[in-house]
Structure 1
Amino acid sequence: MSVTIHLSGHVASVVDATVPGLISDLVASGISAGDAFLWGPAAEEEASKRLGWTQSVAVSRPLVAEIEALRAELVEKGLTRVVLAGMGGSSLAPEVIAQTAGVPLVILDSTAPGQVLSAIDGDPETGGLAQTVLVVSSKSGSTVETDSAKRAFEAAFRDLGIDPAERIVVVTDPGSPLEESARADGYRVFTADPTVGGRYSALTAFGLVPSGLAGADVGELLDEAEASLLELSIDGRENPALVLAAAIAGGEPRKDKLGLVSDGTHIVGLPDWIEQLVAESTGKDGVGILPVVLLPVSPETENPPADVQIVRFVDEAGEFHLFERHHGEVLMSGSLGAQFLVWEFATAIAGRMLGINPFDQPDVESAKIATRGLLDARPEPTPPAFSTDGVEIRTTDASLAASGTLAGVLDALWALVPADGYVSVQAYVDRLHLPQLAGLRELVAADSGRPTTFGWGPRFLHSTGQYHKGGPANGVFLQILERTDVDLEIPGRPFTFGQLIEAQASGDASVLAAHGRPVVTLTLTDPQLEVLTLFEAAQ
């Protein structure tokens, strides 16, 4: 099954007015043919090296048998617990594939020491370290979070008397430093197509190896994607990627915020993958499309702001009762493999419509540089503006703290949100122990009256972090940190996981402030207790 899209109201008119131009410009067939000039001369060099995802189904076919054979070998040895160390596109696609298939895959895309320890130790239900295989996924091989996780697991395996070469599988680009070191260490290595950027890599080894080793049917996933290839290459109104791109990037004035709602679909977690694809691809040069992951009952879905276009994922987009109830929305249904390809095509097309290069990420490196600087210098922590009920408050603008109350600080931050702006909530915590923090998004959206995103740090730095710095300068930022006695050394590094995640939060805050974005940082000194204080203040 491919993808079905139903439109009504204003968005249908926008699509009707926009798609003919995309058809006449031969955009769909041009992408399929690898035409790097579609995004203009400034983007041509980068685009010429980043269109391999259009051929990913064919290129990835031989991987299926290799993955299935390795999984059978591992299961025979009793190695049934799979942990994935990866960031951004390297972790989000496998997460969606595994969740939708209903197979267990532990995702480690955090530097919170408690979360790293949980990934290493395991639990009685899914098995412990003795039953664990670690998949290390990194295109460059130098991603600090992934490298740190690899080092921690190697040490843990050795402590149990286990040769890491028996337990570690590496996915990386050919010729990367990680490939060289992994082969030298005797690890099993899968190399991916280097002409595919990380966020477009769902149907490459980055998406398929970890989810396939966990038990997902990756051959079927490729079959689903293949079924949509022909219609995606056709320059016609029936092409779902042209329709979707027009819906999310067309119109005047353009709705520059994209509300993503899962409502009865069999696919689990797709909006989180779309969020990193669209935000990192389009959020640059002061423009962009901001994805906002919503619930069916979120404030933005109950009463959508004028600048929010809702895309609702259902299992049957053509059912009359659905589009009668959700007038003005984009209703989408279809298989997961097809959704991956449709969104990749649509995002690339949207980038062309916005006049930007959808394949680079010019502002992601700035936070990494700031983090490295803080880890090298190790400055003393900035004293809080004030503390209340166990919460330390720090702000990039002293006036935000003038009230002396947590609720007052939040109100002052919301007051800085422009009429077309948004709030970004960023939680640099162990999300396994504080999952309830995700519920803060709903309260902030209601209290601020503006679209609100929520990201687990440092995971979001590899996705929406690009939009925060490179997109429209209309966001305000709320960081949430935790103080904990739990920490873990990173073998071979002069810093711990606790120091790393703290530096990542501080580094990003400094870069945001340098870009003129207001930031409030709340540190919970007793996280389980202070979460309630935070929720009360946000109401």
Structure 2
Amino acid sequence: MNPLKALFPELGQAVWLDFVARGFIAEGRLKRLVDEDGLRGVTSNPSIFEKAIGDSAEYDPALKAVMEAGDSRVIDLYEGLAIADIQAAADVLRPVYEASDGADGYVSLEVSPYLALHTDETLAEARRLHAAVARDNLMVKVPATPEGIPAIQTLTAEGISINVTLLFGQDAYEQVARAFIAGLQARVEKGGDVSRIASVASFFISRIDVTVDKALDAKIAEANDPDEKAALEALKGKVAIANAKLAYQRYKRIFAEPAWQALAAKGAKAQRLLWASTGVKNKAYSDVLYVEELIGPDTVNTMPPATMDAFRDHGRSRAAIEEDVAGAEAVMARLAKSGIDIDAIARQLVEEGVQLFVDAADKLLGAVAGKRADLLAARLNGQTLVLDEALGTESKKAVETWRASGAIRRLWAHDKTLWSGADEDRWLGWLRIVEDELGHLGDYVDFAEDVRRAGFTDAVVLGMGGSSLGPEVLAETFGHRDGFPKLRILDSTDPDEVRAVEAAVNLPTTLFIVASKSGSTLEPNVFRDYFLGRMKAVVGADGAGSHFVAVTDPGSAMETAAKADDFRKIFHGVPQIGGRYSILSAFGLVPAAASGIDVGAFLDTARTMVRSCGPAVPPAQNPGVLLGTAMASAALKAGRDKVTIIASPGIDTFGAWAEQLIAESTGKGGKGLIPIDGEPVDVPAVYGRDRFFVYLRLDGHADERQDEAVRNLEREGHPVARITLATAEQLPQEFFRFEVATAVAGALLGINPFDQPDVEASKIETKKLFDAAEAQGALPAETPLFSDDRIALYADPANAEALSGQDGFEAAIAAHLGRIRDGDYVAFLAYVARNPSHHAILQDARIALRDTRRVATCLEFGPRFLHSTGQAYKGGPDTGVFLQITADPAEDLAIPRRKLGFGTVIAAQARGDFAVLAERGRRALRVHIKGGDVEAGLKRIAAAVNAAA
């Protein structure tokens, strides 16, 4: 009989193995330890699984099998592997369990260290793991944190065997032992059996000496007296064993008390002390020190393989645990006299122990996430960050800060302190919307079939902001599908654009999707009023409502109106999701279903990214966190706050959606990222050093000129986030990636990414103007700075003073653009019909300005940008120079139930927008095109810009 095998039968100490791995079990090595060395148990922890899974390929076949059957969450992949190993090990040890009447033969599985400071979550996870493993000889490991101790008592009362981990101090051990006894007493009071409940209290050894020896070295360095130095030196390597011996004395006292004897009479088994962390870390000490000195009856020593091998080879067995208890007391007394507080060290070691296990869990889950991504291959959109050394370092710091603080788990837990601590927790419904909507998939399938059977030829979304920009991406990316209506978007109150939409459809076969979260937004309401009136005129009042669907939050004014007008169907949004985060909710899925997009496949594709950005995926492997930290770091550390979006043909409309998400979410409080969409990528010489580029590349449809231009930007040191899509159908993944990235960037910027205070200010100003116009028959008269027969210029007093002394229109434009500073951007805000001709004229002027001034440029059409980038223009950094463009309509268009038409609506919106820009002190000038010839007016404006550039 070797020394290892002799420990239990001769000295009463059970040997457990602090290690588990799949091949180790499958190849029979665990069973050999049981048979040849008398092994009586196995413990595991995140560090052990991290080494087993992360540092080898032996789990790859199992992961591949799971992924070939379908995608899975990272935490589920890990748990699937771990639980299978624990079950296999438990089955090997089952004979030991039976032979010992349930005293030994256990395998331990740890509750997630992320939950160590949360009692209720620890309870829930312990119960779940106990049920999932489904083996009587499982011990669930729960840490001896202040929050863990009540969980230990409750779980014991429920009949779950517990391995209490991270014990360092004698007082904490006594609390644990008494919690165990209280749990058994509670079980007895309810008539439960206590004879098959086992528990161990895992007292960590080597870590105590490591920490105490370090403190002793500091004391020795400070001491001047040689005798004092010698006395302190003599304590090194002694404290951990002394502490354990005194804990054993407490064990004997506690389990000799009458309260315990009453439980023992009912068959209860005492909670044994388990010596953990018994691998020696100081090479100056014997490699079997923490085995030889802690042998005693009714104890357990869980050894790593190397320590087990060493003791088998040259260990000496003796009942040492009660040797020289007085000497142990003297060691602890001398330690206290030296000024080293063992209780403080114990508390410190618990905190460090939790963090060490968190770090190991992060590494473990990161490894699983990496293997999952490799197995998904092209099914998961790729992402590569090309950053220079300085920015790369800053970005990595931000990622590590997010990891160390558990920020990704806090985000998913709706912790508002991650941002400003305002009401952010109320706006995070988008995190779980994909899974929620998959549960309602049947509703969308039924709706799609209803639309197809009805024979609608067109479906028009009437909305603004996120409610329209998301569906627009779907319409442009996925195209028209046979048997389903063509999806169109109306998000402009320009009379010509409203007329153009009406002219493009056949009203009797058109379905209108009215999208408004609150139901009180001006634009969707006037769109509804207009087209409902037109539909009544065409198909009759009784049938008009069947051509309308509402998407709105429960109980909104829109829902009330939709019921009153007998709409075909009402879909509810989620009140906890803001409009710009709503694309994966009903606001995006209803238009998708109506146009024949496979909503199930759409959501399933998005779920791939949801899982990649999940709470169990550490920041370094989390694509949303990586993009968000890179964007924010670029802005905060390098002044690169102009997030410039480049996209392959076929997915290029995604930029407008991302633009509104980033701008409206981050641009406030004088901070923010300014997204730049629609600038064709060019040579590095036309860009300033304020850019951060995001390149969405669609394999098989990439533009070679874009590819080369992006490579040149990278060569010149510009930061680039490359995102690759195998097919356009994988675009839903990007909606979620960018939502997470934007929320992360908001946290780093220190703002609330879910409110829009300056958008609301613009809405209020617009409503005030429109209501006044309705009452008085027209908007108030204005006095121009300059006017001729075709053009008029307007500005608030501050901007007018800045432009004073300029002679004529062209001079005023030149003076306004002369206000551009380094790091600024210029935004054209055009309240005219958004059509190819108008866009081309202003785009040419925009690019000329960029190329000559090296300034970022934006081209926006009103009023749609009001509900998106308008937030950043008013509330973000004061780096914008704005040229607002308005025009007299060629012909106004009346709105049913309104005194004034669309021409007044868009004019009120433009004035409201300008008023808030002025109130925020922005550099702004309004150019008004008179007489109705918009194209000629735009050409004149463009010529003046080109001349000034």
Where on the TM-score scale, by shorter chain, does this alignment land: which range? over 0.9
Q: Give the structure 2 partner of residue 304 of structure 1.
A: 687
**Does the alignment pair 1:395 with 2:795?**
yes
More displaced 10-residue stretch of structure 1: 197-206 or 162-171: 162-171
2:561 is paired with a residue whose SS is helix
Q: Partners in 1 of 2:928 and 2:790 — Cα distance? A: 8
**1:436 is matched with which residue: 823, 826, 840?**
840
CA contact (8 A) 1:15 1:247 kept: yes
1:164-185 deviation per Cα after TM superposition (whole angstroms, max 9, x unaligned): 2110000000111111221232
**1:200 is matched with which residue: 569, 578, 581?**
581
What amino acid is aligned across from residue 260 of structure 1 in structure 2? I
**2:494 is matched with which residue: 112, 119, 122?**
112
1:361-389 deviation per Cα after TM superposition (whole angstroms, max 9, x unaligned): 11111111211222233443313222357
Q: Partners in 1 of 2:821 and 2:939 — Cα distance? A: 28
What amino acid is aligned across from residue 333 of structure 1 in structure 2? T
**1:329 is matched with which residue: 717, 720, 724?**
720
**2:594 is matched with which residue: 202, 210, 213?**
213
**Does the alignment pair 1:26 with 2:406?**
yes
What amino acid is aligned across from residue 277 of structure 1 in structure 2? L
What amino acid is aligned across from residue 172 of structure 1 in structure 2? T
Q: Partners in 2 of 1:209 and 1:220 — Cα distance? A: 14
More displaced 10-residue stretch of structure 1: 465-474 or 440-449: 440-449
Q: Partners in 2 of 1:487 and 1:409 — Cα distance? A: 30
1:425-459 deviation per Cα after TM superposition (whole angstroms, max 9, x unaligned): 10101113633344142233335442111111010
**Aligned counterparts, 1:55-454, within 5 A:** 55-103=432-480, 104-122=486-504, 127-162=505-540, 163-187=543-567, 188-233=569-614, 234-251=617-634, 252-262=637-647, 264=648, 266-298=650-682, 303-315=686-698, 324-327=711-714, 328-334=719-725, 335-378=730-773, 379-388=779-788, 390-396=790-796, 397-398=799-800, 399-400=802-803, 402-432=805-835, 434-439=838-843, 440-454=845-859
Q: Partners in 1 of 2:785 and 2:537 — Cα distance? A: 44
CA contact (8 A) 2:628 2:742 kept: yes
1:203 is paired with a residue whose SS is coil
**1:4 is matched with which residue: 371, 382, 393?**
382
What amino acid is aligned across from residue 909 of structure 2 in structure 1? Q
CA contact (8 A) 1:480 1:521 kept: yes
Q: 1:171 to 1:267 in 2, by over 3 A?
A: same
What amino acid is aligned across from residue 287 of structure 1 in structure 2? K
Of structures 1 and 2, the one scoring higher in RCO (CA 8 A, sep 6+) is: 1
Over the residues paired in the alignment, what is the CA RMSD in angstroms?
2.3
CA contact (8 A) 2:787 2:793 kept: yes
CA contact (8 A) 2:817 2:881 kept: yes
Q: Give the structure 1 partner of residue 915 of structure 2.
A: 510
Unaligned runs of 5+ in 1: none
2:620 is paired with a residue whose SS is coil
**1:529 is matched with which residue: 933, 936, 944?**
936
CA contact (8 A) 1:265 1:333 kept: no
What amino acid is aligned across from residue 428 of structure 2 in structure 1? L
What amino acid is aligned across from residue 489 of structure 2 in structure 1? I
Q: 1:409 to 1:469 in 2, by over 3 A?
A: same
Q: Partners in 2 of 1:392 and 1:213 — Cα distance? A: 44
Q: CA deviation at 1:22?
A: 1.2
CA contact (8 A) 2:686 2:852 kept: no
| Identity in percent | 35
CA contact (8 A) 2:582 2:588 kept: yes
Q: Partners in 1 of 2:905 and 2:414 — Cα distance? A: 40
TM-score when scaled to structure 1?
A: 0.93
Q: Partners in 1 of 2:628 and 2:907 — Cα distance? A: 38
Q: Partners in 1 of 2:814 and 2:599 — Cα distance? A: 47
Determine which structure has the larger helix proportion and give its number: 2
What amino acid is aligned across from residue 821 of structure 2 in structure 1? P
Q: Partners in 2 of 1:49 and 1:9 — Cα distance? A: 35
More displaced 10-residue stretch of structure 1: 198-207 or 287-296: 287-296
1:54-76 deviation per Cα after TM superposition (whole angstroms, max 9, x unaligned): 10111112444323322332333
1:76-117 deviation per Cα after TM superposition (whole angstroms, max 9, x unaligned): 332120100010000111111221112332111011011112
Q: Partners in 1 of 2:665 and 2:680 — Cα distance? A: 26
Q: Partners in 1 of 2:442 and 2:462 — Cα distance? A: 23
Q: Give the structure 2 partner of residue 467 of structure 1.
A: 872
What amino acid is aligned across from residue 462 of structure 1 in structure 2? H
Q: CA deviation at 1:268?
A: 3.4
Q: Partners in 1 of 2:853 and 2:781 — Cα distance? A: 29
CA contact (8 A) 1:120 1:156 kept: no
Q: 1:499 to 1:221 in 2, by over 3 A?
A: same
CA contact (8 A) 1:110 1:457 kept: yes
Q: Partners in 2 of 1:326 and 1:515 — Cα distance? A: 34
Q: CA deviation at 1:266?
A: 4.2
1:204-226 deviation per Cα after TM superposition (whole angstroms, max 9, x unaligned): 00011012212222222211111
CA contact (8 A) 2:874 2:917 kept: yes
Q: Partners in 1 of 2:911 and 2:631 — Cα distance? A: 33
**2:418 is matched with which residue: 38, 44, 47?**
38
Q: Partners in 2 of 1:447 and 1:478 — Cα distance? A: 18
1:509 is paired with a residue whose SS is helix
Q: 1:410 to 1:63 in 2, by over 3 A?
A: farther
Q: Partners in 1 of 2:436 and 2:519 — Cα distance? A: 21
CA contact (8 A) 1:112 1:498 kept: yes
Q: Partners in 2 of 1:249 and 1:316 — Cα distance? A: 28
1:320-340 deviation per Cα after TM superposition (whole angstroms, max 9, x unaligned): 989754413221123211111
Q: CA deviation at 1:293?
A: 0.8
CA contact (8 A) 1:323 1:331 kept: no
Query: In terms of Rg, which structure is larger?
Result: 2
Q: Give the structure 2 partner of residue 456 of structure 1.
A: 861
More displaced 10-residue stretch of structure 1: 492-501 or 7-16: 7-16
What amino acid is aligned across from residue 194 of structure 1 in structure 2? P
Q: How many residues align?
A: 530
Q: Partners in 1 of 2:499 and 2:622 — Cα distance? A: 46
CA contact (8 A) 2:495 2:889 kept: no
Q: 1:217 to 1:444 in 2, by over 3 A?
A: farther
